[in-house]
Amino acid sequence: MIESIERINHNVNHDTHYTQNVKHQSANLRNIKNADSCIFIDSCIFITALISEEHIYQLKI
Half-sphere exposure at residue 32, Cβ-oriented, CA atoms within 13 angstroms: 17
Question: What does the longest C-alpha to C-alpha distance in the chain come to?
Answer: 54
Rounded distance between C-alpha atoms, residue 49 and residue 29, angstroms: 6
Rounded distance between C-alpha atoms, residue 47 and residue 28, angstroms: 12
Instruction: Provide the 8-state DSSP code for 42.
Output: -
Tens digits of residue pLDDT in 26-61: 787 777 766 654 455 555 566 666 666 666 655 654
Report the pLDDT averaged over residues 7-33: 77
